[in-house]
Amino acid sequence: MVQHYGTAKPLDAGDCIVNDREVTLSEGSALLGGDSTAGPREGHASIISSISNLANTIIGSGMLTFPLAMASAGIIPGVITCVFSGAVGGFGLYLLSRCARYTPHRRSSFFAVAQLTFPQAAVLFDGAIAVKCFGSMILNCSYLIIIKSLMPNVVASLYHDLTSPTTNPPQWALSGQNWIILFMFILVPLAFLRRLDSLRHTSYIALFSAAYLITIVLRCYFKPLEGTMPRGDVHLVHFTPGFITTWPVQVFAFTCGQNIFPIFNELKTNSQHRMNLVVGTSIGGAILTYEIIALFGYLTFGSNVGANIIAMYPSTSLFIAIGQLAIVVLILFSYPLQVQPCRISLDKIIYGGQVSKAIEGLNEEEEVVDDHAGGDMSMMKHTLLTGVIVAFGFMIAYNVNDLKLVLSFVGSTGSTAISFILPGLLFWKLTKDDPTVSRTLNRSAIALVVYGTVVIVFCLAFNIYQLIHS
């Protein structure tokens, strides 16, 4: 492992601490596998594209469940828990963005920060990265499975709306597996893109899809469609047993820590102020999106609302059918955003030891560089790892119809660790002896660790209970 000790201040570009001595990081060192004549690494992503990519990472199919989450507790608790979950998720992202400043220039990652804080616990962090990696791969599979289950219904609705109710689409179009094969022609090129910023255009489209769902919810509340289910009871405060099931949905709806380091590395002029703007706008936009969908979806159907709000509306309307297609597009373009953190995690697990061995043999005069703090991979490694991820996702999604149980266990551990426990723990370790950092902020970081621990215990216990009684 690359050992980093004794640093208590954000590092300037090109600086690092190794074995209690400050050394210079060479961007073009042989350890990087790059050109030794290369200049300093700079970011090229705009603040708009960074916000879009982070927001797209946050906003996913989970938003369809928010009206049910509000129905399980009532309007007031529903609004409060959504804002609270968003604020906690945003605080975790803020702490990670602060941690990123202690790492080598634009080479931040969980791996890099871990080496600055707990190098002696490297095995534990490797395990956390492994869980995160596996979780990302399972999440990729689940996205494809959702698309596989949605597309036949979407095609049938669009076909009936555009032709006639008695005309059925061709049989091949009603096979979810066929649609996975077709969509892979879109997803594979996107998955092989090297930079997160390259996905900005797909993120714009995905966020437009989320905006379309908001339009559906608002329109159907103020002007209900013919055939809409009658509204049930609406309560300001009304906790039900379903709250235990829906609360984790809100907690994990704001987890996106896996992409905060790539965004930090790629953002042009990545000052703390600009990172705060990226995090605040993304989290704020997600909270607003969830609240609108939750509130007006709940007010439309009341206690009769289901787990999928888009499925509650009459599918005989072309307006709704396009909305169902928009959900598919949203999920489709969320897939590539999960490939990059998964690829980075695999890189740390498979190749992480190579840098350690190289570091151990360095002399005092030699320059040190850590490619695995978030640096670029060689083309061969990039191609190999991406191919493994895409092939794994395709094979699982093609042959499996439900990963809910696996995803619930992996999500409750990996997502919680990445979004709550590690941000608080790493920030506290980096800044506990720094007099320029507020003690209140340090204590808040520890509180985030405690909160994450409670979430893990609760979600694991609940998952085990459901497994036993299912």
Calculate mean pLDDT across residues 142-149: 83
Alpha helices by DSSP H, 163-239:
176-191, 200-222
Tokens coding 309? 């709000």
Q: Which residue in the block uniquely carries the two structure tokens 């640096």?
A: 375
pLDDT, residue 26, reads 37
pLDDT, residue 134, reads 66
Calculate mean pLDDT across residues 261-278: 94
188 vs 134: CA distance, rounded Å: 19
> What is the largest distance, in Å, between two alpha-carbon atoms of the chain?
79
Q: Which residue in the block uniquely carries the two structure tokens 């919810």?
A: 217
Calculate mean pLDDT across residues 43-62: 91
Q: Are 86 and 102 in contact (CB under 8 A)?
A: no
Hey, where are the domains in the chain?
42-359+373-469
Which pLDDT tens digit goes with each residue over 424-463? 999 999 999 889 999 999 999 999 999 999 999 998 888 8
Among the residue ranges 11-25, 31-45, 98-112, 270-284, the one predicted with the least confidence is: 11-25
pLDDT, residue 338, reads 84
Q: Is the model's pLDDT at 342 over the cut of 90?
A: no
Which pLDDT tens digit goes with each residue over 169-213? 888 988 989 999 999 999 999 999 988 999 999 999 999 999 999
pLDDT, residue 6, reads 41
9 vs 116: CA distance, rounded Å: 11
333 vs 319: CA distance, rounded Å: 21
The alpha carbon dihedral of 290, 309, 258, 124 has a sign of positive
Would you say domain 42-359+373-469 falls under CATH 1.20.1740.10? Answer: yes
* Closest to 237 (Cα-Cα) out of 78, 85, 84: 78
Alpha helices by DSSP H, 260-334:
260-266, 272-301, 318-332
Contacts of residue 381, defined as CB under 8 A and 6 or more positions apart, other chains included, come to 347, 351
Q: Is the model's pLDDT at 407 over the cut of 80?
A: no
39 vs 280: CA distance, rounded Å: 32
Which pLDDT tens digit goes with each residue over 96-134? 999 999 988 888 888 788 888 887 765 566 566 666 666
Record the pTM.
0.83
Q: How many CB atoms lie within 10 A of CB 181?
A: 11
118 vs 96: CA distance, rounded Å: 15
